[in-house]
Each structure stands twice: as C-alpha cells, then as structure tokens.
Amino acid sequence: MTDSTPPVFLVDELPTGEQAVLTGEEARHAATVRRLRAGERLVLSDGRGGMAACVVDAVQAGRDAELRLKLDRRWTEPPPELRVLVAQALAKGDRGELAVELATEAGVDEILPWRAARSVARWDDGARGAKALARWQGAARAAAKQARRAWVPPVREPVDTTGLAAAVRDSAAALVLEGTATERLTELDLPPAGDLLLVVGPEGGIAPAELAALTSAGATPVRLGPTVLRTSTAAAVALGALGARTTRWA
C-alpha cells in the first residue's frame, strides 16, 4: 500500500503558536530516517487526541537534529463512544510486543498485560518487569505513529487473574476469546458506549479455573470463527470484527 499521508510525530504538548520546533529523537527520525525536507508536510500529535498539521520550514540533521515548522491547522479527534480494552496474556519472545503492535494498528484503546497461569513469559517485579513493560509501551507508541492514530493506547501495569476479574466487573461488557465457546462474537449484542474488555489468553490457552473466575465476574466466552488464532493475532482480528459491527469505524 502506498504511504501517501503525512507522517505523525509525537510530542508531549502541541505548540500554541503558528511556529514550532521539533527536537530530540522525533526530530532525528524525521531528518535521518524519513529524510523530510523543507516544504514537506507532517503531523504533530500529543497522543491524546490533539493533532496539528505542519509544513517543514527548515531542517537541521545530525545528533542535534531539529525541524522548524509552520503550523497549518489544529484539530482534536474524540475517543470512540465504545472503547475497547484488551487484556493481553503475557507471551514468550517478541509475540507479546507483536500482539501490542497489531492491536494498536487495529484501534485498541487500552492494553492490560495479564499474568495468566499458562503464560510462559514471566514479568517479575522490579527492573526486569519494568523493562518488559517499557517494550510493550514502546511498541504501542510506534504502532500508533505508523497507523497515524491520534490516540496512543496506554499500556497499564500487569495484573493477575484477580485483578483482571475486577476489570471485568468495571467494564460495560467483557468478552473472553475462547476456542471452545459456543457463542460467536458476530452474534452478540454489544453495548453502544462505555468500556468493552476483550480478554486474550496465552499460547497454552486459558486455564479452566481462570475462565471460571472471569465468567463469574460477568465475562462472556466467545469465539471468532472455526480456526485457532495465535495469541499475537487474536486481538487484532477481534478488533476488526468489532469495528465492523459497531460505530467505531463510522
């Protein structure tokens, strides 16, 4: 697919005037990787719905790269009325980061890492766990930019099954992707607004005790179709189905 839309660069705060300067890692990426030049367009995003279309006025490459910008217009994209939160079970290797990347490109609004009983990966408390969480957050940030999203989905601190059950109770509806379920996602009545929690299990599947705890909290086991999906792709496929069945893609 041809990349014809202006690239997006994340900033902590959008500029308030008609001129702006992009610095730091985003500027180095714009100047060195994207090779933007004067006269080209880009979009600044605060990751919270705020966007600003800009024209590059001047570029300084190198370690201290910066882009001088002229602001063309600003706008704000509101969050969807029906927000989809994905509870993603920890996965081995880079499959967890891939799951975050694909779900972000598919429109997830928030990601909740889940320490499932059958998860091979383990996020220990302390530095190692913080590093793993940072990788997921980085994957969400990069994928949001790639997808030209106005909202970067936050990746929360990981929860165990007790914490996930609490999240189920707090949501407008909760669905557990489960290959043995009889109900199909395409046949369910979905809420028009609020938080819809989508639970994705690990490679080894959701343990029976965990499934019982989640259903007791109010979650509904559902299946997507006749095939079994990897934990890294399941959320993205489900988000596509939800986008088509609700007003999220309207």
Per-residue pLDDT tens for 100-124? 999 999 999 999 999 999 998 888 8
Q: What does the CA dihedral 76, 80, 83, 88 come to, rounded to 10 degrees?
A: -60
User: What gap in Å lies between CA 29 and CA 23, rounded to an integer?
Assistant: 10
User: According to the CATH classification, is domain 8-76 in 2.40.240.20?
Assistant: yes
Length in residues, the chain: 250
State pLDDT tens for residues 169-214. Answer: 999 999 999 988 999 998 999 999 999 999 999 998 999 999 999 9
pLDDT band (50, 70, 90) for residue 3 = low
For 76-98, give one letter per residue: b (16+ CB within 10 A) or e: eeeebebbbbbbbbbbeeebbbb
pLDDT (0 to 100) of residue 2? 46
The answer to whether 41 and 17 are in contact (CB under 8 A) is no
pLDDT band (50, 70, 90) for residue 72 = very high
Question: Three-state DSSP class for 190?
Answer: coil
User: According to the CATH classification, is domain 82-249 in 3.40.1280.10?
Assistant: yes
Whether 8-76 and 82-249 share one fold: the answer is no
Q: What is the DSSP letter of 18?
A: S
Structure tokens at 132: 């793993």
Q: Where are the domains of the chain?
A: 8-76, 82-249
Q: Which of 117, 138, 137, 103 is nearest to 208 (CA)?
A: 117
Average pLDDT score over residue span 132-141: 96
Pairing mode, strands 19-22 and 66-76:
antiparallel
Percent of the chain with pLDDT over 90: 87
Q: Calculate Rg over the CA atoms of the chain.
A: 20
State pLDDT tens for residues 74-84. Answer: 999 999 999 99
